[in-house]
Structure 1
């Protein structure tokens, strides 16, 4: 199953959590508040801060540490300094604001160099194709950089970072 069809299957399937029914929100259906915050969970389930830490530190998933520094992860070498430190993220921004930043930082900070992690519209990307990814653009497999649940996990992790 391709990542795109898996995402579509997940979006079409309701997720049961705590007796309530939720459906994954597709990137096109996100409701923004004040142009910077996404109040509703993208996946309908709470984020897992442990899984979020894995995504933040993974060079193949979020790759966050290539641009951001995080003193809570001293075991990871070569942390970046072109983005703001992740330290204190949970104290600086609300959960909804962090969700907006992680999903689409360019909407929150138009001059940001941070990638758009939750968008599946290839027309919104400058180079979604062979020259950029070493793979030809294929509409059947083009998808978000992070899943809705990965965004929720990263947000949950960032909410734990309250110390400066």
Structure 2
């Protein structure tokens, strides 16, 4: 999947989104290299392990719509507005993350590929 913006992703903004309990909510299910964050999830793979050797395009596609890869995935579609269930009226036709936020998260996840497991 091609980048969603012409601006490259920012690793530090991506990290903040992933660690945020209000924006990305990734740590509800995943754990990762966030020593300052307590109560990280264990429902999904640890982030450093799960990004493995994935390309930025593969990571982007999983963020946009994980159900394309696993129809029973509990991971939300962060950049899809159709075919969703139980969406609050005020969130209809809105994505969870903006296109730039998706690119920022992708940049952060790619940065994990060069770091050893903690």
Q: What TM-score comes out, normalization by structure 2 length?
A: 0.89
**Aligned residue among 1, 25, 46 for 2:8:** 46
1:82 aligns with 2:33: no
Equivalence for 1:144: 95
1:69 Cα offset (Å): 0.7
1:155 aligns with 2:110: no
Higher strand share: 1
5+ long unaligned stretches in structure 2: none
Q: What TM-score comes out, normalization by structure 1 length?
A: 0.65
Root-mean-square deviation (Å): 1.6
1:92 Cα offset (Å): 2.5
Residue deviations 1:46-75, cap 9 Å, x none?
1001000000001111110110010x2111
Rg (Cα) greater in structure = 1
5+ long unaligned stretches in structure 1: 1-37, 130-136
d(CA) in 2 for partners of 1:111, 1:92 = 23
Q: How many correspondences in the alignment?
A: 115
1:156 Cα offset (Å): 0.2
**Aligned residue among 49, 62, 68 for 1:101:** 62
Q: Which runs of 4+ in 1 moved over 6 A?
A: none
1:138 Cα offset (Å): 4.5
1:69 aligns with 2:31: yes
Equivalence for 2:74: 113
